[in-house]
Homo-oligomer: A and B are copies of this chain.
């Protein structure tokens, strides 16, 4: 049985997961964010089966997160590049990274990190209200709105 789709769900979180919640999808976006562009490089970096990579890339292209572009080295091959829609998954990746750093590494373990190119300092994500006040899970209230 195919697993359920959340495409028609009213909740944006569910729709997002429907689009990029499959195994590997967000890791492909993560790799793309740090500059990986070619099929074989994604495969080497991620170590996933080629058929699955193929399926995932097709879906990412189909939903406008990535696009196929001519290779940057002038060869006849093509590369995969993030669209604006794909680049805006950046906060999702950073939020996952931040949580993983906090809770899933033991002391002394090596880990990869991203830094601000300019300052060399790590990133943070914060949830804020309009005024720049930092919010936590206790501050939320649920409503339905029209787009």
Contacts and interface: CB of A to CB of B under 8 A. Distances in A.
B108 A147 contact: yes
Interface in A89-121: 89-121
A127 B128 CA distance: 11
**A contact face: mostly helix, strand, loop, or mixed:** mixed
Given A95-B125, A105-B147, A114-B140, 17 more contacts: A10-B112, A11-B111, A11-B112, A12-B97, A12-B104, A13-B93, A15-B105, A17-B26, A17-B96, A87-B137, A108-B146, A111-B147, A113-B145, A114-B143, A122-B130, A124-B127, A124-B128
A131 B91 CA distance: 17
Contacts of A4: 47-48
